[in-house]
Structure 1
Amino acid sequence: MTIARQLRRRRKNELAREVGVTPAAITQYELGQAKPSPGVVSKLALALAMPVDFFRIGHPEEKTTPAHFRSLRATTQLERDEVIAFSKLAMRFVTAIERYVDLPVIDLPREDLPPEPTKADISAIAKNARKSLGVESGPIPHVIRLLESHGVVVLQLPNGSRRVDAFSYWHGSRAAVFMNPLKDDKPRSRFDAAHEAGHLIMHRDLEPGSRITENQAHDFAAEFLAPTEEIIHELPRTLDWERLAILKRRWGISIKALAYRAHSLGIYRDTTYRRAMVTLSKWGDPEPYDIGPRETPILMTKAMEVCRDIGISRDVLTETAGLAESIVDQILAVGIEERPKVDIFSENANRSHSSEI
């Protein structure tokens, strides 16, 4: 009941008013201290747009670690509760699939941070993670597929608030990452996935939400996507937009991130970096030189194909998980359609920014 209420962004007093009971009664229902009558259950189902059976079928919840949100100040508690509730239902569906299909074994490395980790410590962890996941050198072709192949469940959130970034947690022994499909940008999706991988690898036992852990995940993602020993020789020594565009396509990293990396590595002076940020701010979001659609997960699609091949229908999985069809639709949704790729060096693609270049 708590999950359903949070999924629909209802406060207890609001739900109590809709159903015709007291807020204290709602609290008692959710804590298992009182049992609602059949009539109240029907009203709850109607108010929360869930089937009555959802409240009748008991599902033990796997223990989860706290979710790492990019910025707690950027989102409301209701927004966070909503996406966490959705994620719990999504993982319930994944558990139903795992009754019939063997998903890839989770084999993410686990790193224990020293008491006061330095940037060098984080870089070493990122390098070890690349090696552990089978990436020796060069760009990672597809970050999300790499994580999925090593047992991470990556799913997309329903189209909702732009303020909710990707987040991650451990659901029992399974690592889970949830992406926002409204962030329709390839470099952004790759960085978000790498950022969450950093949390899963480094911060399993740490409380989320601190600026320190978020900065550590940022540093991890930067090194994970483009190791210093490689990218430092490729970054231009001057503010060369065309060269940065080439590196954006090669490494799948935004120009903004590349400029930040050049500054952090001492290649760009403060004045050069500020000039780059001013120009990028004028260009707005999305930045120029589109390199194609965002990365999307495929593991659940493949798992559903296996289920169909062995005679396990979607209806069976839905019933096993005790979910509404509409919820399953959202769990399995691909999201917004992929946009056609654009040649970053085409005349039309660059025309609007030619004066800056």
Structure 2
Amino acid sequence: MNPRPSNRGQLSLLEDPSVSTQGSDRHQLAAIAAGFDAARLTQARRLAGLTKKAVAAELGVSPVAVSQWEAGATSPRPDNISHLADVLDVLPPFFSAGRPYARLDGASAHFRSLRRTPATQRDKAIAYTEQVWELAHALEKRVQLPPVDLPSLPADVLEDPCAPEAAARMLREHWKVQEGPIAHLVRTMETRGIIVTLSPFAGAATATVDAFSTSHLDRPVVVLTPDRANDVYRHRFTAAHELGHLVMHGEVATGDPQQEKEADRFAAEFLTPSAQITPRLPARLDLKVLEQLSAEWGVSVESLIYRCREVGAVSDASYRRAYQRLNQLRKLNLFRPTPVEGYSGEIPILLTRAFELAEANGLSLKDLAAELSLKLPRLRLLLGEPTTRPELHLVND
């Protein structure tokens, strides 16, 4: 079940530009105040999960002053720059204009659980994605990442009632994985140039954020969260769900519940094509048989039970009884979920590998943090914690 090797998944070294590491002296703070980037303040505040009122209280200024700073109407004094950096846990140069910046808004991202995701957490998630893009952009100055390989679907396919299933089949064909299970789904997405991250960027609140994606950047970004990684099959379905958004909903406004249903249908067809899985489904809902199929195809038993009903293999009554039986067995600590740890092909590593290659050729973590004006813990969070250290080969240009 190993994916076919492809040069698209390899990284090649580019020229390493010089990195400036400035000190935070009085002259620097004055220069930052003179070239203050209001959008950076908004990003840092949202990442910190603070309101304008809370930031104002920490600095001893009025909320109106903070609002004016974020609106670009006025700029903070040099001493306020230093205090802002402390409160928002960034380096003072973070607020300087002139660095590459990808701006996103709430309409640019598909949230898996939009209705139960508070606006503050959506803002935090979007700000996090902006920083993921900045990290990828900085690494791409040194390392050649795989090109983005997502096909554009014809209008007649997108307008068809069976569009999600057709889109899934077309993507399988485009990626040359028409037959059988898709092993290493996350790794497959990364080799097609999609940035995937798995990080507790919002702490305990990642359970409400769930997962989200955006195609409104020059590289699509999929953000998966640790609460779904406690079950590798749920994690894979979530990744496939977000992939469905990237393929089908890149040019449409987000927030429509119908899009979430379509992404689920895409994920089911992409992971378990009906033409291939239907002959394998048991005539009776035998949980032992479904457990074997679950391990083979990399999807949950719940997903297969639903698939049985979806393709018309069982009645609604049999479907409900199977779910009830499975829930009873789970309460007895049977059919336990399997965490994603140990499944290296389902843990994102593209950004980590890119940094490791750049690091082997002279870039230090400290230099990269200085370039991005981030503290080291934040940079490590963006890079992710690698569980494997894969062997790397430079690609000759």
Tell me the distance in 2 between the aligned counterparts of 1:70 and 1:98: 29
The aligned residue for residue 23 of structure 1 is 63
Q: Which residue of 1 aligns with 2:136?
A: 94
Contact in 2 for aligned 1:74/1:163 (Cα 8 Å): yes
Other-structure match for 1:164: 209
Q: Which structure carries more relative contact order (alpha carbon 8 Å, separation 6+)?
A: 2
Q: CA deviation at 1:182?
A: 2.5
- State how 1:217-228 maps to structure 2 within 5 Å: 217-228=263-274
Does residue 236 in structure 1 map to residue 282 in structure 2?
yes
1:317 is displaced (CA, Å) by: 1.9
1:70-97 Cα shifts (integer Å, max 9, x gaps): 1211111111111221221121111110
Distance in 1, Cα, partners of 2:266 & 2:149: 18
Specify the SS of the correspondent of 2:244.
helix
Question: Could you tell me which of 107, 125, 129 is aligned with 2:149?
Answer: 107
Q: 1:119 to 1:281 in 2, by over 3 A?
A: farther
Q: Shift in Å at residue 319 of structure 1?
A: 2.0
Q: Does 1:142 align with 2:184?
A: yes
Could you tell me which residue of structure 1 aligns to residue 340 of structure 2? Answer: 293
The 1:113/1:69 distance shift into structure 2, 3 A limit, reads: farther
Q: For residue 222 of structure 1, what is the amino acid of its counterpart?
A: A
Give the alignment of 1:1-357 within 5 angstroms: 1-56=41-96, 58-64=98-104, 66-112=108-154, 114=156, 117-158=159-200, 159-161=203-205, 162-183=207-228, 184-284=230-330, 288=335, 290=337, 293=340, 295-334=346-385
Aligned partner of 2:63: which letter? P
CA distance in 1, matches of 2:363, 2:347: 25
Q: How many residues align?
A: 337
Indicate the larger mover: 204-213 or 293-302. 293-302
Question: Does the 8 Å contact 2:195/2:219 carry over to 1?
Answer: yes
Mapped partners of 1:205, 1:109: distance in 2: 13
Shift of 1:208: 1.5
Tell whether the 8 Å contact from 2:305 to 2:319 is kept in structure 1 after alignment.
Answer: yes
Q: Distance in 2 between matches of 1:283 and 1:160?
A: 28
| Cα gap change, 1:53 to 1:289, in 2 (>3 Å) | same
| Change in 2 beyond 3 A, CA 1:62/1:160 | same
In the superposition, the TM-score normalised over structure 2's length comes to 0.80
Q: 1:186 to 1:119 in 2, by over 3 A?
A: farther
Structure 1 residue 283: deviation in Å?
4.2
Measured in 1, the distance between the counterparts of 2:102 and 2:126 equals 13
Post-superposition offset of 1:277: 2.1
3-state DSSP class of the match of 1:155?
A: strand
- SS at 2:137's partner residue? helix
Query: C-alpha displacement at 1:117, in angstroms?
Result: 4.2
SS at match of 1:320: helix
Give 2:380's aligned amino acid: D
Output the amino acid matched with 1:59. R
Checking the alignment, whether the CA contact within 8 Å between 1:15 and 1:47 is kept in structure 2 is: yes
Contact 1:235/1:262, CA 8 A, preserved across alignment: yes
Change beyond 3 A, Cα 1:232–1:135: same
Q: Secondary structure at the match of 1:163?
A: helix
- Write out per-residue CA displacement over residues 176-213 of structure 1, whole angstroms, 9 at most, x where no aligned residue: 11110232211011111111111011100112221100
What are the Cα deviations for residues 291-312 of structure 1, in whole angstroms up to 9, with x where unaligned? 5625211111211121023222
- Post-superposition shift, 1:107? 1.1
Q: TM-score, normalised by structure 1?
A: 0.88
- Are the equivalent residues in 2 in contact too, given 1:112–1:202 (CA < 8 A)? no
Q: CA shift at 1:287, angstroms?
A: 7.1
Do the aligned residues in 1 keep the contact of 2:89 with 2:375 (CA within 8 Å)? no
Q: Unpaired segments of 5 or more residues in structure 1?
A: 339-357
Q: Which amino acid aligns with 1:180?
A: T
How far, CA to CA, are the matches of 2:157 and 2:278 in structure 1?
28
Instruction: Say what the alpha-carbon RMSD is for the aligned residues.
Output: 2.2
CA distance in 1, matches of 2:178, 2:233: 21
